[in-house]
Structures are given as C-alpha cells and as structure tokens.
Amino acid sequence: MPLIKRFCDKLPADAHKRERRKGARPGELLDAALDLFVEKGFAATRVEEVAARAGVSKGTLFLYFQSKEELFKAVVCENISGHLKGWNDEFESFEGSSADMLGYCMNSWWDRLGATRASGINKLMVSEAKNFPAIAAFYQQEVIRPGHALIRRVLQRGMDRGEFRKMDLDYAVYSVIAPMTFLILAKHSMGVCMPDDLGLDQKKYIRTQLNTILYGLSSSPVNLGQGPEKVRA
C-alpha cells in the first residue's frame, strides 16, 4: 500500500479517485449492513457478509466501525436523518383541506421513506429494540416522537378547522401510524402478514387506509354529534 501511495503522489488525479473511494466506503458498508440487518437481524448477520456485500474485506469494515455494534448504531443513525424537518416546513404552508393534508402526508411518507431501503430501519427497531435499549431510546427521540408530533399537528389542524371531530390525539395518531407501520413491516417480513406479498398494491393500500381513517367503514353517519366515543362499554 505504501507502494500505491507513492505511485499516487505522481498521479494526483488518481489520488482523487482514491479519496472519493475512501469516502464512499462507509456508505457502502452502511447500505450493505442495513439490508442484511433488516433481512436477518443483528445477531444472525455476519460482518464478513456485510463487508463482502459492500465489496471490501472484513478488515476494512473495522477501519470504519469500531465494532459490529457501532456499525449497528451507525446504520440506525444514518437512516433516520431529518426527513421530518423538511416536512414540518411543507406542512406549515399547506393550504388545502386537512383530509387532503393527511392524504398528502401518508403518500409522501411512503414515497420518501416507506418505499425506500431506509424503511427497513423500522423493522430493525421492532426486532432489536430489546437488545439495544439505548438505540431504541435514541430512535424514539429522533423518529417516533417527531413523527407523532407531525401527525398530531395535522389532526389538530383538522380539529381546529372543524374538519375532524374532537378526539384524544394521544390515541388518534395511531390510526395513521399503525397502518403505515404495518405496511412497512409486511414489506420487510416476507409478507408474513399478507396472504401474498406481491398481490398487494401499496398505493391502493394507502388510499384505502386513508379512506377508512377519514370516513370509517360504516355506511351511515352515526351519532357524530356526541361522538362515537361511547361505543362499547
């Protein structure tokens, strides 16, 4: 390697390529690690596999990550970067109805996160939360809480504008979160939770869930005044 380095001294252009390569390594490793952790779980994934998938040797992985656990942390951190920040701004200036806003919210969430590899993080956290409480807390802080807040804002807006009925937002948020989370988990769990994975049109799934969330399944508008809150004892 000192050989190559000396060689590079004479070829600055090549050196540059090398630099870029070096910069690219951690990213490739994180990508590979994300895929494998999501697919097989943390414990069942071998670092050698991660390295191989990233096209480097086992030793190289440890140049960038102190340990397998650090790699895990990095994978989680890397994939929860602030998509939400941008969203908050977008929503600030949203003009349409709250129903449209919710629809926009769910669809863009799917397009920007759900449909990407980053969505695997969700499954990963479900699977490994117990083994990595610190990471789970971090995830909670960085993803869950802001996500909940975002949904809350939309629902609150709807309530404020009289578009949505009064509700306990602490629980109502899950009407939005649960279907989206479910879709992610189904996607990453080999369709364990779907009769057959490929048969599901994800966009249609979202549209249908949105519909239910907004209007429910009932055919008639029952007691919306006092509220359905008292249904069931």
Binding site for DNA (CB under 7 A): 1-5, 15-19, 21-22, 25, 45-48, 56-60, 62-64, 66-69
1 binds, among a copy of itself, DNA, none (CB under 5 to 8 A by kind): DNA
| Cβ atoms of 210 and 103 closer than 8 Å | yes
Which of the residues 62 through 91 are near a copy of itself (CB under 8 A)? none
130 binds, among a copy of itself, DNA, none (CB under 5 to 8 A by kind): a copy of itself
- Cβ of 103: how many Cβ atoms within 10 Å? 18
56 versus 167: smaller Cβ distance to a copy of itself:
167
54 versus 186: smaller Cβ distance to a copy of itself:
186
115 binds, among DNA, a copy of itself, none (CB under 5 to 8 A by kind): none
> CA 194, CA 190: separation in Å to the nearest integer?
9
> CA 229, CA 233: separation in Å to the nearest integer?
10
Write down the least CB distance from residue 48 to DNA, Å. Answer: 5
Q: Residue 65 region, left (φ>0) first, then alpha (ψ -120 to 50), else beta?
A: beta
Q: Does 57 bind a copy of itself (CB under 8 A)?
A: no
Q: Does 52 bind a copy of itself (CB under 8 A)?
A: no
Write down the least CB distance from residue 134 to DNA, Å. Answer: 16
Label residue 217 exposed, middle or buried (CB < 10 Å: 0-12, 13-18, 19+): exposed
| Cβ atoms of 31 and 117 closer than 8 Å | yes
Query: Which DSSP state fits 140?
Result: I
Which of the residues 192 through 221 are near a copy of itself (CB under 8 A)? 192-195, 199, 204-205, 207-221
